[in-house]
Chains A and B, each alone.
Chain A
Amino acid sequence: MTALVEAVDVVRRFGATTVLREVSLRVDVGDRVAIVGQSGSGKSTLLHLLGLMDRPTSGEIRFDGVDLAGHRERDRAAIRARDVGFVFQAFHLLGRRTVIENVETGLLYQGVGSRERRERALAALADVGLSHRIDALPTTLSGGERQRVAVARALAQGSRLLLADEPTGNLDRGSTRRLLDLLDRVVGPSMAFVVVTHDQVVAERAARVYRMDDGVLGPEGG
């Protein structure tokens, strides 16, 4: 079976600094993968490569079996628009836009009409339990609610691959637990979930856990 996304012998250098050293990782539909490691170990860089936000110095990033490392930006952008959802530690919501406008932003680059954007955004917000806050501004939400908006934005996109970079980094314990419960519920069997985290509580929810150590990826405890 073809992997949904796969890194093969990926090396990433920034100038003289080698951040990833021949990293390989396969993620299939239905996978729940956690990557742990210290700050600066290269785990976020790997996540960005898997999400086609960056290009490897060498190696391959295969999506649906096709190496997209050397593909044109518009092809990679099209896949990001339809198949990849991001959840960031810093939420990355548009501060002056309402909750529903933020979720609709996730659909802008799919060429979807306004009515469909609104319907899909409402459905995603219902999934994350924020139907009652659609007209609120992000600044009036708690950290946990903001992260749920970010999850709703990725869900509305209909992404097959959900990538989360320290999603609980700005949340307290209660909010972390509620977000993880939400992710357990909304990440369906037709999706893959890759999370980069410091937090052992987050990693424990994953089926597979890897550790990144100075640009080298290996199994946790291995």
Chain B
Amino acid sequence: MRARRRRTRITRAALLHDAWTEVIAHPSRAVLSSLGTVLGVAVLLASVGTAESASAHIVGLVDDLAARQVQVYNASESAFDRDPARRFGFDAVERVERIDGVERAATYSRLANVAIRSGTPEPRPAPQDAAVVSTSGDLTSAVGATVDGADLTGRGERPVAVVGRALARSLALADLERAPTVLLDGLAVRVIGVMEDVETRPDLLNAVVIPDELARTNFGLTAPSTVLVTVRLNAAKVVADQLPLALQPSGLAKFEVVRPPAPEVLRAGVAQQTRGLLLALGLLCLALGAVGIANTTLVSVLERRPEIGLRRSLGGRRSDVVLHFLTESAIVGAVGAVVGAALGVLATVVVARAQGWDPRIQPAWLLASPLLGIAVGVLAGLYPAIRSGTIEPIEALRAGAG
């Protein structure tokens, strides 16, 4: 007669049920084991969620302004490029505003070596970094500024100027009602407005802005150096493609057109920048969580040697015992991750609301959390589980009373 060699194997359902029962039978052990994973996943999701909410908010702001600005730089004034067929001229704004998708445009040229002084009885020189800028078109809107007083639109070559708030303060200019003046290379120019709250060209706060015509007739400006174009959202690329030909139909132009990155690229970039550090922090916490599970499971394996001996005596193989401990740590990891994900979402909502942002978190992160927890649990439980399989059953049974 031969010994029966029927294969026995614990069913998957029984393994899962047995491991789950063991986990919930020791709630304090389970809580301690999962604490690291709870914390790790919570920080991870809070990091990702906060970064996404913040980047969505930032991109929203940028969309409204920078993402709608295209700049065109004129060809240089070298002998070759001075050819009018290669450059745009003073009619640039008129030409640009014909393009569909353009909301407004303005020229912007910094005039070199123009001395600025206040037109007061005792003229006061402007700071070194003050500049004279000439423009045509709606510069105020193009740079997202406000002007106290009047702006330059339609002023032709009359000697008028708008002065940045900082420069006005430096020159101690009188109130606009008293018709203050500034001297540009000795030419008295009346200040009709003060520019402030400049969003995209902060240098204008320290500048005297005059009309292009005045710059051409008095300061030798041959052509605008830059055109600032404000376009409708998402129209930047289309407009940028059309700008060179619109500005110079000869096709010989050598303009440099600078447009903002596409919103989705910008969004991804901002998200990546803001997420990177927080993500690293979350992963570090998760790694610490894994160490926590590994440590608690290892201690648990040593404490549960009599149970290991019992399981072996009941027909459990080494692999069954290893699998049992792995399943327990996977359960602890999964449960910890679910709790951690809930806390992470809560933290995201609280932080986002406190900052006035719309809370955002990718659903994929929520779905992936339990899987991440299982992976952490299995990885962390691997060494202790293998250790459990090396414990000799006789030795284990001698280790304690049940």
* Interface residues in chain A, defined as those with a beta carbon under 8 Å from any beta carbon in chain B: 2, 48, 51, 53-54, 62-66, 68, 73-75, 77-84, 86, 88, 90-97, 101, 105-106, 108-114, 117, 138, 153, 157
Partner of A108 from the list B2, B10, B309 (CB cut-off 8 Å) is: B10
Q: Are A90 and B2 in contact (CB under 8 A)?
A: no
Question: Which A residues touch B1, using CB under 8 A?
Answer: 2, 64-65
Among B5, B7, B311, B313, find the residue whose CB has the most chain A CB atoms closer than 10 A: B313
Q: Are B307 and A82 in contact (CB under 8 A)?
A: no
Q: Give per-residue flags for B315-359: 1 if the beta carbon is below 8 A from chain A beta carbons, else 0.
A: 111101000000000000000000000000000000000000000
Nearest CB of chain B from residue A138's CB, rounded to whole Å: 7
Question: Which B residues touch A95, using CB under 8 A?
Answer: 402
Q: List 25 A-B contacts (CB under 8 A).
A: A64-B1, A64-B2, A65-B1, A66-B3, A75-B5, A77-B8, A77-B317, A78-B6, A79-B5, A80-B314, A80-B315, A81-B8, A82-B6, A88-B397, A91-B402, A95-B402, A96-B22, A97-B21, A101-B21, A105-B18, A109-B8, A109-B317, A112-B14, A113-B13, A138-B402
Within 8 A of A (CB), among B159-176: none
Partner of B11 from the list A2, A93, A96, A113 (CB cut-off 8 Å) is: A113
- Known contacts: A79-B3, A108-B10. The answer to whether A92 contacts B309 by CB under 8 A is yes
Report the Cα distance A68→B397, complex, angstroms. Answer: 22
- Known contacts: A93-B402, A97-B25. The answer to whether A78 contacts B8 by CB under 8 A is yes
- Known contacts: A82-B315, A90-B306, A109-B314. The answer to whether A54 contacts B394 by CB under 8 A is yes
Nearest CB of chain B from residue A60's CB, rounded to whole Å: 12
Residue of B nearest to A75 (CB): B5
Within 8 A of A (CB), among B192-239: none
Nearest CB of chain B from residue A150's CB, rounded to whole Å: 8
Question: Which B residues touch A48, using CB under 8 A?
Answer: 394
Nearest CB of chain B from residue A196's CB, rounded to whole Å: 13
Report the Cα distance A86→B394, complex, angstroms. Answer: 12
Residue of B nearest to A102 (CB): B402
B9 contacts the other chain (CB 8 A): yes
Question: Which A residues touch B3, using CB under 8 A?
Answer: 62-66, 68, 75, 79
Nearest CB of chain A from residue B293's CB, rounded to whole Å: 20
Number of interface residues of B (CB under 8 A): 38
Within 8 A of A (CB), among B1-40: 1-11, 13-14, 17-18, 21-22, 25-26
Question: Which B residues touch A84, using CB under 8 A?
Answer: 313
Report the Cα distance A95→B26, complex, angstroms. Answer: 10
Closest 5 pairs between A and B when the two form their complex, measured CB to CB: A81-B315, A66-B3, A109-B315, A96-B25, A92-B402
Q: Are B316 and A92 in contact (CB under 8 A)?
A: no
Q: Is the interface of A mostly helix, strand, loop or mixed?
A: mixed
Question: Which A residues touch B5, using CB under 8 A?
Answer: 75, 78-79
Q: Are B315 and A114 in contact (CB under 8 A)?
A: no
B112 contacts the other chain (CB 8 A): no
Q: Are A90 and B313 in contact (CB under 8 A)?
A: no
Nearest CB of chain B from residue A115's CB, rounded to whole Å: 11
B79 contacts the other chain (CB 8 A): no
Among A48, A68, A80, A106, find the residue whose CB has the most chain B CB atoms closer than 10 A: A80
Question: Which A residues touch B21, using CB under 8 A?
Answer: 97, 101
Nearest CB of chain A from residue B31's CB, rounded to whole Å: 14
Question: Which B residues touch A90, using CB under 8 A?
Answer: 306, 397, 400-402
Residue of A nearest to B11 (CB): A111
Nearest CB of chain A from residue B315's CB, rounded to whole Å: 2
Residue of B nearest to A5 (CB): B3
B393 contacts the other chain (CB 8 A): yes
Nearest CB of chain A from residue B52's CB, rounded to whole Å: 42
- Known contacts: A82-B6, A111-B10. The answer to whether A77 contacts B306 by CB under 8 A is no
Q: Are A114 and B400 in contact (CB under 8 A)?
A: no
Nearest CB of chain B from residue A57's CB, rounded to whole Å: 14
Nearest CB of chain B from residue A140's CB, rounded to whole Å: 14
Report the Cα distance A66→B18, complex, angstroms. Answer: 33
Question: Which B residues touch A94, using CB under 8 A?
Answer: 22, 25, 307, 310, 402
